[in-house]
């Protein structure tokens, strides 16, 4: 099952990072598309289907500015899926992209980022646009062609202006009261 939306993606809640010299945030990645794959190292679908798909995504889109992030989101077998085991898993499966450990919620078995994105389980995938908006998320593994097409569309999107808007001249007749109107098509 998948959803498509245009709301700003919630921030990741992370207890530990692997394969990155510094923690990442979605806010600092604004301007780049972000593909997040959620997994558990004891999840058969993650090991057999999702992780190989992510490795194909990395091969195909490796020369672009797509940021791939793994999110190890543990909601069962907590003791078996500790950071030491995850580190060995990442080495054995040659996972080199940044991997975050979803922050545990002391009140429930469901980790915080999993709650924020309303994820149903693993594997799941999340695609975030250059503007920080949630483009798509899905539970399970989708067809490579569909995932690749969505990523290509996110990559082709215009890079948003992150800088502050430039000031306007009060001499322009379309600008008044601190607002500027876009000229209508008929006036051109």
pLDDT in tens, 99-144: 999 998 889 889 999 999 999 999 999 999 999 999 999 999 999 9
Higher pLDDT, 17 or 42: 17
DSSP 28: T
Residue 43 has pLDDT above 80, yes or no: yes
Phi, psi of 36 (to 5 degrees): -110, 130
Whole-Å CA distances, 56 to 45, 52, 90: 16, 6, 16
Quote the pTM value.
Answer: 0.80
Distances (CA, A) of 143 to 2, 54, 62, 139, 153: 12, 12, 19, 12, 16
CA-derived radius of gyration, the chain:
20
pLDDT bucket at 78, cuts 50 / 70 / 90: low
Domains of the chain, start order: 1-19+31-126+142-157 (3.40.30.10)
Distance CA 7, CA 16 (A): 26
């Amino acid at each position: 099952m998948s959803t498509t939306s245009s709301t700003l993606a919630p921030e990741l809640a992370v207890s530990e990072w692997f394969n990155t010299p510094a923690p990442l945030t979605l806010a600092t990645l604004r301007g780049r598309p972000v593909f997040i794959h959620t997994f558990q190292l004891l999840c058969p679908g993650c090991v057999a289907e999702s992780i190989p798909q992510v490795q194909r995504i990395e091969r195909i889109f490796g020369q672009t500015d797509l940021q791939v992030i793994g999110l190890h989101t543990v909601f069962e077998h907590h003791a078996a899926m500790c950071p030491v085991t995850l580190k060995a898993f990442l080495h054995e499966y040659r996972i080199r992209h940044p991997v975050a450990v979803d922050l545990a919620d002391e009140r429930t078995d469901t980790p915080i980022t999993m709650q924020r994105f309303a994820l149903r389980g693993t594997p799941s995938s999340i695609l975030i646009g250059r503007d920080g908006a949630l483009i798509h998320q899905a539970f399970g593994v989708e067809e490579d062609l569909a995932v690749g097409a969505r990523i290509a569309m996110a990559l082709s999107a215009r890079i948003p202006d992150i800088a502050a808007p430039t000031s306007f001249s009060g001499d322009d007749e379309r600008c008044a009261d601190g607002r500027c109107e876009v000229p209508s098509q008929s006036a051109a």
